[in-house]
Amino acid sequence: MTNIEDYDNHEDIVDDDDMVYGPKPIGPRVVAVVANDDYTLTLTFTNGEVKLYDMKPWLNKENPSDYLLQLKNKGYFSCVRVNHGTVEWPNEQDICPDTLYEGSVSVEGFTEQQIYAQGESLS
């Protein structure tokens, strides 16, 4: 068995952050989210991009899990919040931030009305 004192060069030791939190993120992370009335999410990412993610394909699955059924309630859907770079609902439903980024479309060229179904303005 090798003791840590046996290492002349400590480069072989894994960074504690990697052990605790896993590898560094691959893509941009979510910094802001707005739930829209049409079951889309307006997302702002760490790179400044604003994108629209459509939740309807998840919610319209033939046999959605109980996990997803709660999201069909518009009041509950609107309770989405940002947590650790992704989106999360009160009962801990979440979506991988890379899935959100890759599966969303840029809102560049959209009007504010198209982006925010609830009439919220960009700030």
Confidence of residue 12 (pLDDT cuts 50, 70, 90): very low
Angstrom distance (rounded) from CA 81 to CA 88: 5
**Position of tokens 């998840």?**
58
Q: Say what the pLDDT of residue 113 is.
A: 56
Confidence of residue 21 (pLDDT cuts 50, 70, 90): low
Angstrom distance (rounded) from CA 55 to CA 94: 12
Angstrom distance (rounded) from CA 35 to CA 42: 7
| Percentage of the chain lying above the pLDDT 70 cut | 67
pLDDT > 80? residue 122: no
Q: Is the pTM here over 0.75, yes or no?
A: no
Angstrom distance (rounded) from CA 69 to CA 67: 6
Q: Say what the pLDDT of residue 14 is.
A: 47
75 Cβ partners below 8 Å, 6+ apart?
none
Q: Which of 22, 42, 32, 34 is nearest to 86 (CA)?
A: 32
**Domains assigned to the chain:** 30-115 (3.30.2020.10)
Q: Higher model confidence: residue 24 or residue 120?
A: 24
pLDDT > 50? residue 47: yes
